[in-house]
């Protein structure tokens, strides 16, 4: 089997299984199997694909045809210019979450501009650690805490921090939301709270693509009956840990930003509430500050 033949077989197989963007998916899996760049597939289409490489490639295509996400098949993904490990214990980082990282970095930079050098950040529901690791790579003068209720997710996040050389500036803690901060007595110590919490309404799960519905961890997806349960809890307890004038940065699902803004506004302890759009012009990130 040549590269050309391997791609043709994979594309037909994935199309037959209803996989979106079958061509791109086939190319991605073949480049991973061959350890080559995408353009090399087309520069040398007659290169043989055989032996263990062919077996691994065919197995990966068969798994993708069952709608398992490519990132779980390869065990890695890219996020904010970083290579991250992903397993089925964690949500696959989405490109739109990069907008959350940018907003959180902006919050830290703003505080540092006000002569605040020792900045503490907490990333709630850290999952793969993508937000915490990306922030640690960009910001040298801040301490990041990252919590997740899943010990398996914390293990993956730790590995990602180590692989990207930022493990010394992130403290990963297993526990529910602010629970680990409470155990450490870190009341009133956080300058920035950031989170991409579970926000899918339970009733919407059946309508999600099979890649999400059947493979990604439900605990990282479902946010209660209306998808807002975690936002309510995060907002309710944030002032116990957030300094006066500190920021809260939350990722919201499609159509949720206005509702999250409403939760912050009705709480009464937050001001400067607003939403930021992602690259698809969807209001994705809600930012607010604790009133002084």
Report yes or no on 76 lying in a domain.
Answer: no
The domain tally of the chain equals 2
* pLDDT at 140 (0 to 100): 87
**pLDDT given at position 6:** 96
Residue bearing tokens 């500050």: 289
Quote the mean pLDDT of the chain: 96
Structure confidence at residue 282 (pLDDT):
92
In a domain, 73, yes or no: no
Q: Does 101 lie in the same domain as 161?
A: yes
Same domain, 101 and 138: yes
| Res 10 pLDDT > 80 | yes
User: Domain check: are 243 and 167 in the same one?
Assistant: yes
Residue 266 covered by a domain = yes
User: What stretch of H or E contains 272?
Assistant: strand 270-277
Q: Looking at the structure, do residues 138 and 175 belong to the same domain, yes or no?
A: yes
Q: What is the pLDDT of residues 124-172, one digit of tens each?
A: 999 999 999 999 999 988 999 999 999 999 999 999 999 999 999 999 9
- Let me know whether 11 and 130 are in one domain: no
What is the CATH number for 122? 3.40.50.150
Task: Report pLDDT for 56.
Answer: 96
Measured between alpha carbons, how far apart are the two ends of the chain, in Å?
Answer: 67
Backbone angles phi, psi at 131, to 5 degrees: -70, -50
Q: Is residue 72 part of a domain?
A: no
Cross-strand partners of 200: 222
292 pLDDT band (50/70/90 cuts)? confident
Q: Are 117 and 196 found together in one domain?
A: yes
Which pLDDT does position 117 carry in this prediction?
Answer: 72
251 lies in some domain: yes
Looking at the DSSP bridge assignments, the partners of residue 174 are: 148
Residues 47 and 95 occupy one common structural domain: no
The reply to whether 200 falls in a domain is: yes
Instruction: Kindly report, residue by residue over 191-210, the tens digit of the pLDDT.
Output: 999 999 999 999 999 999 99
Residue 23 lies in a domain: yes
* pLDDT, tens digit (0-9, with 9 covering 90-100), for 76-128: 999 999 999 999 999 999 999 999 999 999 999 999 888 777 899 999 999 99
Tell me: do 260 and 205 sit in the same domain: yes
Domain containing 120 equals 89-290
Other Cβ atoms less than 10 A from the Cβ of 203: the count is: 10
Residues 107 and 58 in one domain: no
Residues 171 and 280 grouped into a single domain: yes
Residue 75 lies in a domain: no
């Amino acid at each position: 089997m040549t590269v050309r033949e391997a791609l043709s077989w994979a594309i037909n197989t994935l199309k037959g299984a209803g996989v979106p963007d079958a061509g791109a998916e086939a190319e991605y899996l073949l480049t991973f199997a061959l350890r080559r760049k995408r353009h090399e597939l087309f520069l040398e289409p007659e290169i043989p694909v055989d032996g263990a490489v062919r077996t691994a490639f065919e197995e990966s295509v068969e798994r993708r045809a069952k709608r398992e996400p490519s990132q779980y098949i390869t065990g890695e993904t890219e996020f904010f210019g970083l290579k991250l490990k992903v397993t089925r214990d964690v949500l696959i980082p989405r490109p739109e979450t990069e907008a959350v990282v940018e907003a959180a970095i902006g919050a830290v930079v703003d505080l540092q501009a006000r002569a605040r050098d020792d900045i503490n950040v907490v990333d709630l529901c850290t999952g793969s650690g993508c937000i915490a690791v990306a922030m640690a790579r960009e910001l040298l003068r801040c301490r990041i805490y990252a919590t997740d209720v899943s010990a398996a997710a914390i293990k993956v996040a730790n590995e990602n921090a180590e692989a990207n050389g930022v493990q010394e500036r992130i403290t990963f803690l297993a526990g529910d939301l602010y629970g680990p901060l409470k155990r450490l007595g870190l009341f009133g110590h956080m300058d920035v709270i950031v989170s991409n919490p579970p926000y899918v309404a339970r009733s919407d799960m059946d309508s999600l693509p099979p890649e999400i519905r059947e493979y990604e961890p439900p605990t990282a997806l479902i946010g209660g009956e209306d998808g807002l349960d975690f936002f309510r809890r995060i907002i309710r307890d944030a002032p116990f840990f957030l300094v006066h004038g500190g920021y809260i940065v939350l990722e919201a699902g499609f159509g949720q930003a206005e509702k999250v803004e409403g939760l912050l506004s009705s709480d009464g302890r937050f001001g400067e509430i607003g939403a930021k759009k992602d690259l698809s012009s969807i209001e994705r990130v809600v930012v607010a500050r604790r009133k002084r």
